[in-house]
Structure 1
Amino acid sequence: MSSKPTLVLVPGAWHIASTWNKISSLLEAQGYKCSSLTLPSANSNPSATYLDDINAVRDAITAETTQGRDVVLVVHSYGGHVGNSAIKGLTKPKQDSSVPTNKSSGFVVGVAMIASGFPITGVAFLDGFGGKPPPYWKADEETGFLDLLVDIRELFYHDLPIEEGEYWVSKLEKQALRPLTEGEHSYAGWKDVPVWFLATTEDKALPFEAQKFFVQTARDAGADVTVREVESSHSPMLSKPQETVDFLLEAAASFAK
C-alpha cells in the first residue's frame, strides 16, 4: 500500500473539478496523488440526483482503495454533504479480532472539510436551511436549477483580483435543484473517521459564525474535529492556495498516524 494517501477532491455546488487545480499541483509536488471530480448535479443537468452525486464520489474513492491506496476525502461547501454521505462502508472497520481486515484494500482514513456543513443521516441539504434556500438563492422549479441572485464574484471570490474572480464566475455550471432536496441517502460519515475543518473567516456565502456552530454541533454529537482557520472568502483553494495546502498536508499527516 502506498505510504501516502490519495486525495480525492470534491467541489461544491456550481463548481467544477478545475477549482482544485491550484492546490493539486502543489500537493502533487509533495508526493500526493490527487483525484478531482465534478459532481453530476453541477454539470448543467437538472435531472441529476443526490445519489448520482454520491456515486460519483464513491467511484473516485474506490478507484483508489481497490488498488490498495488509502484516501483522504477533501470536500468543499455542498461537496461536504455529498462526500460524507459517500464514505459509508468505505472507512476502516472498528477493531474486531473476529473479523479479519482486508489488507489488500485501502480505506477512507479521514475527511478534510473546507467551509462546509455536517450532514445528518436521512436529512436533505436544504433541510439545514429550514427546507428553503438562503435569500441569495432561487429554487427555479420550472428549469430544475438553483439560481444565484447576487453578485457571484463578491459572494464566492471577493478576495481574488477582479479579473481572476470574473474568470472563475465564467467557469461555474448550472446547479441542479433536486439533489439538494433529497435526504434518503444522506449519511453522517463524519462520525466514522477523524475530521479536519478549515474555517473561512471572511466568508460571505457561509458565514464564519455558522461554520463554528456546525463544528460545535458535530463535536457535541461525538465527532473528532480539528479546526484551523484561514482569512479568506468561501474559496480558499483559489485565493489562499498555499495556506489551504498547508492545512491539507497537516491533516493528511494526522490521519496517517
Structure 2
Amino acid sequence: MSAPPTLVFIPGSWHKPTCYNEVTNLLQRQHKLKCISISLPSTAGNPAATFKDDLDAAREAISAETIHGRNVVVIAHSYGGMVGNSAIKGFTQRGFTKSQNQISATGYVIGLILIASGFTLSGLSFMDPFFGHPPPSWRVNNATGYAELVAPPRELFYHDLPENEAEFWVSQLTTQSLKALFEGGEHTYAGWINVPVWYIGTTEDRGLPVMVQRIQVGMAKAMGGNVEHRELHSSHCPFLSQPEMTVRIMVDAIETFAGKLKRNESTTCGQGDMIVAPKATILQPSTWLKFGLPLALGHIVGSCIFLFTWARRLWRFKIN
C-alpha cells in the first residue's frame, strides 16, 4: 500500500499558520497524516515582502516532501489559494519534467483543497481582478506598506466562534504586506488546471460572499477544472469554527486524490447536515437561484475567458 500524502497548509492574509492547529491535530491524531503549516513572509512584519517570497516558502515546503518520493496535497485558505495554486507548478504529474539534480524517487502534488478562496488565473496578481481597488473590509496604507483591516476582524472572520475564542484569534492576526497583494502577477499560475480540486465554500462568509465563491467554482469548471464542491454553514474560517466537519471533507478529498474513495456520492450529505454538495435540481426550485444561477454565471465567465485565451494564442501563433 502506498504511503499517505503529506498535507501542506497555506494560511491566508493576516493569519499565522497556527490557525490550522485544530484541524492538523485531528488529521495527525485520528488519521495519521503528516501536516506541514507554512508561514507566509508577507505576514511576518516586513512590508517589503512580496508574493514571490510567499511562493518560494510554499514551494520549498512542497519540494522537501516530493524530492523524497512523498506525494503532497496542498490546502490553502483565502489569499493563500493564490500562493497554493501557483506553488504547484512543476510538481504535478501533468507536464512534470525531472531535473538532472533530482533523485529517482519523486513524489507529486496530487490534489488541491481550497477553502473560501479563488481560482488563480496565470499572469494576474491578487488585486488585478479588483482593478486595484480594495474591498470595503480593508484599506491601503502606503505610509506603512501594509493592508489594514477596516471591518472589525471578529465580524469579518470569526463571527460564529464563541466570544473568547474569537477575541483570541483576533489577537493572533498579523500585518499583511501590500506588495504581495498588488504585485507578482508574473509569478502566478493556474495550478488548479493540473490537479483535481476540492473546494470548501462558506455560506455565512462576510469576507468572501458565498455567491462569489459559487461563481468562481462555475468559472473553474467551465475552463476545464476537475472541481468537487462542498459547503459548510460557516464564517470565513471553518477550520476554527467547524474543525471536525472541515476535516471530514478534507479526508474525503485526500482519499479521492489517492484513489481510495471510488464514489464521490458517498461524501454528499443532505440539506439537514452541515455539509452540502451544491447542486441545482429541477424538483427543488429553491436550488435554482441558490446554486444554479451563480454556477451558471460562473460557467459563462469561464467560457468567455477560455475563448479569449484560445483566440489570443491563435493570433500570436499566426503573427509568429
User: The TM-score by the shorter chain falls in which range?
Assistant: over 0.9
- The TM-score normalised by the length of structure 2 is 0.77
Q: Which amino acid aligns with 1:204?
A: R
Maintained 8 Å contact 2:78/2:118: yes
Count how many residue pairs are aligned between Structure 1 and Structure 2: 253
- Between the aligned partners of 2:40 and 2:186, the Cα distance in structure 1 is 18
Pairing 1:43-58 to 2, within 5 Å after superposition = 43-58=44-59
Q: In the alignment, which residue of structure 1 is the partner of 2:173?
A: 172
Distance in 2 (alpha carbons) for counterparts of 1:133 and 1:170: 23
> Does 1:106 find its partner at 2:107?
yes
What are the superposed Cα offsets for residues 109-164 of structure 1, whole Å, 9 maximum, x if unpaired?
00000000111100010112222110121011111000010111010000000110
Larger-Rg structure: 2
Residue aligned with 1:167, SS: helix
CA separation in 2, counterparts of 1:77 and 1:175? Answer: 13
Given that residues 198 and 230 in structure 1 are in contact (C-alpha distance below 8 angstroms), is that contact kept between their aligned partners in structure 2? yes
Match of 1:239 in 2: 241
Secondary structure (helix, strand or coil) at the match of 1:134 reads coil
Per the alignment, residue 22 of structure 2 pairs with: 22
- The runs of 5 or more residues in structure 1 that have no matched partner are 97-101
Q: Does 1:151 align with 2:164?
A: no
- Name the SS of the counterpart of 2:114 in structure 1: strand
Amino acid of the residue matched to residue 70 of structure 1? N
Q: Which residue pairs with 2:3 in the alignment?
A: 3
Q: How far does the alpha carbon of each residue in 1:37-79 deviate from its partner, in whole angstroms, 9 at most, with x for none?
A: 1110011110001100000000111111111110000000000
Q: Which amino acid aligns with 2:234?
A: S
After superposition, residues 55-94 of structure 1 pair within 5 angstroms as: 55-93=56-94
What SS does structure 1 have at the residue aligned with 2:218? helix
Instruction: Specify the code of the residue in structure 1 equivalent to 2:230.
Output: R
Please give the per-residue CA displacement for 1:80-105, whole angstroms capped at 9, x wherever unaligned.
01110111101113599xxxxx8611
Contact 1:2 1:69 in 2 (8 A): no
1:35 aligns with 2:23: no
Q: AA paired with 2:35?
A: C
**Does the aligned pair in 2 maintain the 1:115–1:206 contact within 8 Å?**
yes
Give me the whole-angstrom Cα distance separating, in 1, the residues matched to 2:211 and 2:191.
23
Structure with the higher helix share, 1 or 2: 2
Which secondary structure does the structure 2 equivalent of 1:155 belong to? helix
Q: Please report how far the alpha carbon of residue 22 of structure 1 lies from its aligned counterpart in structure 2 after TM superposition.
A: 0.4
Structure 2: distance between partners of 1:197 and 1:153: 24
**Whole-angstrom CA distance in 1 between matches of 2:166 and 2:201:** 20
1:239 partner amino acid: S
SS in 2 for 1:175: coil
Structure 2's unaligned 5+ residue stretches are: 98-102, 260-320
Q: How does 1:190-229 map to 2 (within 5 A)?
A: 190-229=192-231
Please give the alpha-carbon distance, in whole angstroms, between the structure 2 residues aligned to 1:3 and 1:220.
33
User: Which secondary structure does the structure 1 equivalent of 2:32 belong to?
Assistant: coil
Distance across 2 between alignment mates of 1:84 and 1:2: 25
Larger CA deviation: 57-66 vs 127-136:
127-136
1:180-203 deviations in whole A, cap 9, x for unaligned?
111110110000100000000110
- 3-state SS, counterpart of residue 184 of structure 1: helix
RMSD: 1.6
Q: Give per-residue Cα distances to partners, 1:3-51, cap 9 Å, x unaligned.
A: 2000000000000010000000100021100000111001111000110
SS at match of 1:32: coil
Q: Aligned AA for 1:215?
A: V
Q: Which amino acid aligns with 1:80?
A: G
1:184 aligns with 2:186: yes
Indicate conservation of the 8 Å contact 1:2/1:68, yes or no: no
Counterpart residue number, 1:99: none
